[in-house]
C-alpha cells in the first residue's frame, strides 16, 4: 500500500497534471511523496507555478526528479503587484526543457486579493505569451467564469489543438460546453469523489473521453476517503477510480485515456 493507496501492478499508468509539490507542506517529504506517487502508478507530475519565486522552485524540482515537469506563470491571487516586465522573466523560464505549459493563470473573484482589472491584464498578457511560445495554458477560474471565458476566447490559444486545460472544474454542463467549444480540456480533482458532488459527477460522465484530465491540486482538495488530510499525487488514483466508475470503464482504461490526453496536451514524452 502506498500511503493507503493500492500499489499498481504496472497495468495502471496515471499522470497528475496539477500538483503544488513546492509548497512547504509537501516539500520536506518530497522524496516520499514522489515514491508513493510512482508506487500508485503516477508516472509523471506537473507543477504549475504561482509566482516568480515558485517558478524557480518548480524548475528546481523538475531538474531533480525525472517524474516532475513544470508550468510557469503568475496566479491571479499572486498578481496584486503585477508588472508587465514579469512577462520577460516568464518567457526566459519557459525556455527550460521541462516547462510544458504557462500556468497557473486565470481569474479569481472569490478571494479579492488582486483587483479584477489587474487580474485581467496579467491573464491576458500570459495568454499572449502562451500563444507566442506555442504552449498550452493551465487556467484557474473561481467565480469568474464569464470573464475567464471571454478573455480566453479573445486570446491566441482559443481553438488551438493544444489550447490548455480549465483545471479543477466545478461548474455545470453549460459551462463545460463553453470550455470545450474553446478547445480546452477539463481537469477533475478530489471533489469528484465528494458525497454531495452529484452535479459535478454528471458533468464528468458527459465530457468526451479525449478531453479529460485528472489532477490532485495537492496539497489541497484531497479526495475521499482522505478528505481533510494533506493531498498528494498518489491520491490522483482515487479520482481516476471514481471517473472509471462514472464512465463504466476499467481503471486501466481511464489511466490509458487520461495519460494519452496529458501526453498530447503537454507534449510529454519520455525524451522531452
Q: Quick check: 4 and 39 in contact, CB under 8 A? A: no
- Dihedral Cα 51, 52, 58, 59, nearest 10 deg: 160
DSSP per-residue string spanning 21-88: TTSTTTGGGHHHHHHHHHHTTEEEEEEE-SSHHHHHHHHHHHHH-TTEEEEE---GGG-TT--TTHHH
Q: Quick check: 189 and 18 in contact, CB under 8 A? A: yes
Q: Is the dihedral of CA 157, 160, 166, 171 positive or negative?
A: positive
Output the nine-digit C-alpha cell for 107: 481569474
Q: How distant is the alpha carbon of residue 233 from its chain centre? A: 12
- Residue 168 and residue 141: Cα distance in Å, rounded? 9
Residues annotated in a binding site: 18, 20, 104, 140, 167, 217
Distances (CA, A) of 87 to 92, 131, 237: 9, 13, 35
Residues annotated in a binding site for a divalent metal cation: 18, 20, 104, 140, 167, 217
Q: Where are the alpha helices (DSSP H) in the chain?
A: 30-39, 52-64, 86-94, 116-133, 145-153, 173-181, 198-204, 236-247, 251-266
Radius of gyration of the chain (CA): 17
Amino acid at each position: 500500500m502506498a500511503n493507503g493507496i493500492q500499489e499498481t501492478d504496472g497495468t495502471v499508468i496515471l499522470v497528475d497534471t496539477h500538483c503544488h509539490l513546492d509548497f512547504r507542506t509537501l516539500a520536506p517529504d518530497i522524496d516520499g511523496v514522489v515514491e508513493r506517487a510512482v508506487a500508485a502508478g503516477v508516472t509523471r507530475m506537473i507543477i504549475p507555478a504561482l509566482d516568480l519565486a515558485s517558478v524557480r522552485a518548480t524548475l528546481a524540482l523538475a531538474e531533480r526528479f525525472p517524474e516532475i515537469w513544470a508550468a510557469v506563470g503568475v496566479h491571479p491571487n499572486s498578481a496584486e503587484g503585477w508588472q508587465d516586465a514579469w512577462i520577460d522573466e516568464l518567457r526566459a523560464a519557459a525556455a527550460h526543457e521541462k516547462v510544458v505549459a504557462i500556468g497557473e493563470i486565470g481569474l479569481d473573484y472569490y478571494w479579492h486579493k488582486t483587483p479584477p482589472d489587474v487580474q485581467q491584464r496579467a491573464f491576458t498578457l500570459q495568454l499572449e505569451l502562451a500563444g507566442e511560445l506555442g504552449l498550452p495554458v493551465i487556467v484557474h477560474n473561481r467565480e469568474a467564469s464569464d470573464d475567464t471565458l471571454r478573455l480566453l476566447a479573445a486570446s491566441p490559444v482559443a481553438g488551438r489543438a493544444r489550447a490548455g486545460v480549465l483545471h479543477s472544474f466545478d461548474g455545470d454542463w453549460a459551462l463545460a460546453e463553453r470550455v470545450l467549444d474553446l478547445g480546452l480540456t477539463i481537469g477533475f480533482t478530489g471533489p469528484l469523489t465528494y458525497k454531495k458532488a452529484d452535479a459535478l459527477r454528471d458533468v464528468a460522465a458527459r465530457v468526451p473521453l479525449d478531453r479529460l484530465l485528472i489532477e490532485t491540486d495537492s496539497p489541497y482538495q484531497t479526495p475521499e476517503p482522505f478528505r481533510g488530510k494533506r493531498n498528494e499525487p498518489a491520491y490522483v488514483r482515487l479520482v481516476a477510480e471514481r471517473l472509471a466508475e462514472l464512465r463504466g470503464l476499467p481503471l486501466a482504461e481511464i489511466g490509458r485515456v487520461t495519460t494519452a490526453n496529458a501526453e498530447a496536451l503537454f507534449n510529454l514524452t519520455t525524451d522531452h
